Amino acid sequence: MTGVPEVVLAREAGLRYAAVALVVNPCTGVGDADEPITMAEIEAVLARSREAVLAVLDELVHTRATFAGPDDEEDTG
């Protein structure tokens, strides 16, 4: 999966774009793994990653609010 189509469309529309991705099943079925990954394993990775993702987003929001420049004004039109 890629975010490229969304980036291209956002850029064409003059929008800023960012993405956050988590790898929840690296190389499933490759190597010594005899069993496919389960939904429970995916959910466990997501649960462990939740706080880290929220911290990144919190920092981004804080940074954007603190260092907003003239290009960051709301479009009221």
25-66 pLDDT, tens digit each: 777 666 666 777 788 988 998 999 999 999 998 998 888 777
Q: Is the dihedral of CA 21, 27, 33, 35 positive or negative?
A: positive
The pTM (predicted TM-score) of the whole model is 0.54
11 lies in some domain:
no
Contacts of 10 (CB under 8 A, 6+ apart): 16, 17
pLDDT for 77 equals 41
52 lies in some domain:
yes
Range of the domain at 34: 23-69
77 lies in some domain:
no
pLDDT for 20 equals 83
Q: Do the Cβ atoms of 41 and 23 come closer than 8 Å?
A: no
Q: Is the dihedral of CA 60, 57, 53, 10 positive or negative?
A: negative
Number of domains in the chain: 1
